[in-house]
Amino acid sequence: MKTILVVITLTLHVAAFAQTAAPKDNVLTKEFNTPFGTVPFDKITPDDFMPAMTQAMKDGRAEVQKITDNKAKPSFNNTVISLEQSGKSITRISKVLFNLNSAETNPAIQKNVRDISPLLTEYNNDISLNEKLFARIKSVYNKKDKLKLDKESYMLLDKTYKRFSRNGANLTPDKKDQLRAINKELSDLSIKFSENVLNETNDYSKQITDETQLSGLPVFVKEAAASAAKKAGKEGWLFSLQAPSYGPFMQYADNRGLREELFKAFNSRCAKGNKNDNNAIIEKVVQLRYNKAQLLGYNTWADYILEERMANTTTIVMDFLEDVRQYAEPAADRELKELMSFAKSQGFADDRLQRWDFAYYAEKLKKEKFNINDEILKPYFKLENVLNGLFDVTNRLFGLTFKQNKEIKTWHQDVVAYEVYDASGKLMAIWYGDYFPRPGKRAGAWNNTLRSQWVENGKEYRPHVVNVCNFSKPTETKPSLLTFGEVEILYHEFGHALHDMLAQGKYASISGTSVAWDFVELPSQLMENFVSEKEVLKLFAKHYETGEVIPDDLINKIRESANFMAATATLRQLGLGLIDMSWHSTIPSGKSVAEVEKQADITHKLYPETSGYSVSTAFSHIFAGGYSAGYYSYKWSEVLDADAFDLFKEKGIFNKDVSASFRNNILSKGGSEKPLELYKKFRGREPKPEAMLKRSGLLITP
């Protein structure tokens, strides 16, 4: 299962009502006078954001007013392009603020987010509900077939018009007021949900002083826990709910009671009835989203969201999830029976495995069947080597080179910045890598931009792209060593980064990763496929102590074990998708979180009931991110990426023609054309599901 959190920063055309000018020495009020226009994080303080945003909003309002006051007939240039180019200061400031709130937050930053977000929401409402502005856009849209626009400009016009119509431009004044109130409350609730998850994750730690309780844990896990304890000024070993600590503990710890404790702590986050509880927030969010959909003329929130997706109806999504389920369920049943039999052979005495037993016995069974596990593989995946290998792969595929620049300021000392060039020597992007957990950083992994790519008045602005992950930090005796799954995560997020880095469009709002939500995972998931290829592993998988290149027998074991427990993982993903759709594709039922999940989550029948177990209360993807009525996208995109990678395998994984086609037809195009049309230009046909089913071990072929 891909435990990622992809955060894609949306372009904001925002302004507000404040009138006070920002101080002249506020670095956020103007374009940055720095190398490549990068963010001067060393000069920004939390006190800068509100005055800078106040001024930017005042300027943004004036820009919009200029469009609506224009006496000339509405045209593509004086209306749609002018709107596209407005509010750039607000976008710049927002990207910096929300990047910090995700990757290096503190109470002052969180207060800025709480104070500024309502202003952003209000002005977004002012834009989308501006009657004069919409009248001009509608006038241009109505004559779109006579304008002789290129495909990208036509798409910008189409998306601009739909953005207004889908966000209430056609509503009556009283309903517009209702929509404003809903949007504001949804924004506030999303921020609170995210803060609660961060607090619950940070609040838990497990200190162990008796080394016998660490039985089963590999040396690398114990060393990391000892380092964490030392840093916290405590004795012994310290474990947390951060992925590099929690995941290995659940895989290796022999102490079943401790596994149960950590599992319940992780899977009851924000569901304990304390100040961080998210149950009431979920109920409010679901009801407000439904109310908004109804107000805009849609039956449900899912109907509203899916209208602009590849899978553009609830029926298509549910049929897709059900089709995959038909393949996955019998295979998962076989997997769990095998796992239970193995657990019995290891002395397991209960009738059924509990949820906190699965990863533990699966890891042992994998070791027995394939003689491979993370402890064996991690020495070959030193973070620096993995990154260098990734740079090599992208050079072979797309001709990119990476040059570290220590002069570029970052938001934390662990963050590294690179200049990215193409084969001709053209600067393509600035790229930031942020790879270690810390208290002010959300869990998971994601990609976002500090600046998008666009062209204005003949000048091209290249993107500034951010990748964030949470890997184990180096200890006193070992560098940062990744699991194989973490290598896949790194490649996944870098695939998103490539989508932004290689953008070659005219308009920021449809550049890079600004595509249909169920298309955005194609580049990221495609890149994961390269990790298990022999040609790729030989480039970077070298033992951190001896320098030995990973031997062929280990590569073969990686490939042989690729489908291990794949059906169970597939059911887990389907279950998350179904929980999401249960919240958003029906009329709010008033049922509790536990009741909704029990009905929707198809993994519930695999294990005994666990008191306090909750997915939704920490399901940031759908309640604090952009995946509401869209979590199915991960599985949907697997069909695309498996089908696409089949072409790479057929022609050679570093085939220049195939990689050039993927770059030219997918990566560089952003949202400039409909996703299915872009995919067909690359593949020569529509996607087929067979490659995904076969890769996951769900389709048995002779």
The catalytic site residues sit at: 493
464 closest CA partner among 131, 40, 80: 40
∠ CA 290-293-297, rounded to 5°: 140
Helices (H), 503-608: 521-530, 534-540, 552-560, 566-584, 593-600
CA 566 – CA 569 distance, rounded (Å) = 5
Q: How would you classify the pairing of strands 446-451 and 237-240?
A: unpaired
Which secondary structure element, helix H or strand E, spans residue 59, and what is its range? helix 49-69
Burial of 309 (0-12, 13-18, 19+ CB in 10 A): buried
- Which distant-in-sequence residues (6+ apart) come within 8 Å of 321 by Cβ? 574, 577, 578, 581, 632, 635
What's the gap between Cα 570 and its chain centre?
Answer: 18
Enumerate the β-bridge partners of residue 447. Answer: 467
Written as six digits, the tokens of 196 are 């609660």
Q: How would you classify the pairing of strands 446-451 and 454-456?
A: unpaired
CA 42 – CA 407 distance, rounded (Å) = 11
Q: Using an 8 Å Cβ cutoff, are 411 and 96 in contact?
A: no
Which secondary structure element, helix H or strand E, spans residue 491, and what is its range? helix 484-501
CA 364 – CA 346 distance, rounded (Å) = 9
CA 493 – CA 145 distance, rounded (Å) = 38
Q: Using an 8 Å Cβ cutoff, are 511 and 542 in contact?
A: no
CA 466 – CA 448 distance, rounded (Å) = 5
Written as six digits, the tokens of 689 are 């599901």
Written as six digits, the tokens of 425 are 């020597």
Burial letters 426-456, b for 16+ CB under 10 A, else e: eebbbbbbbbbbeebbbbbbbbbbbbbbbee
CA 599 – CA 110 distance, rounded (Å) = 35
Enumerate the β-bridge partners of residue 427. Answer: 421
516 closest CA partner among 158, 164, 165: 158
607 closest CA partner among 306, 363, 372, 267: 267
CA 107 – CA 118 distance, rounded (Å) = 17
CA 602 – CA 592 distance, rounded (Å) = 17
Q: How far is CA 339 from CA 342, 482, 572, in A?
A: 5, 26, 16
Q: How would you classify the pairing of strands 205-208 and 446-451?
A: unpaired
HSE-CB at 184 with a 13 A cutoff on CA atoms is 14
Helices (H), 129-218: 131-142, 151-166, 173-203
Beta-carbon neighbour count of residue 210 at 10 Å?
9
23 closest CA partner among 3, 49, 43: 49
